[in-house]
Amino acid sequence: MLDPERLSNLIKTYRSCGEPMDIAIATLRKNLRGVLNASQTKLSNGPLEGINRKIKALKRSCYGFANQERMFERIYQLIA
């Protein structure tokens, strides 16, 4: 894991130099609290985002369901 103090110092002291990295650092500064929290844990929302992507793809490909129960059945089959 990263040292949050070191990461915070790196983000805060970065000087713009006209590169695309300036935009990324500006985003990190804007969300500094979340970035530092994420650096302190091994937890990730990646698996959950993957499930959400599968559900959205299912909804797009089916053009609707006969009823909500069938939609939930198909989601359970998809993520099981």
Angle at 16 between CA 30 and CA 28, to 5 degrees: 20
**Domain range list for the chain:** 2-38, 45-75
What's the confidence (pLDDT) of residue 22? 93
Query: Which pLDDT band holds residue 12 (cuts at 50, 70, 90)?
Result: very high
What's the confidence (pLDDT) of residue 70? 87
Residue 1 pLDDT greater than 60, yes or no: no
The predicted-structure confidence for 13-68, as pLDDT tens digits, reads as follows 999 988 899 999 999 999 999 999 888 888 888 999 999 999 999 888 887 778 88
Q: Are 58 and 75 in contact (CB under 8 A)?
A: yes
Q: Are 40 and 1 in contact (CB under 8 A)?
A: yes
Distance CA 49, CA 46 (A): 5
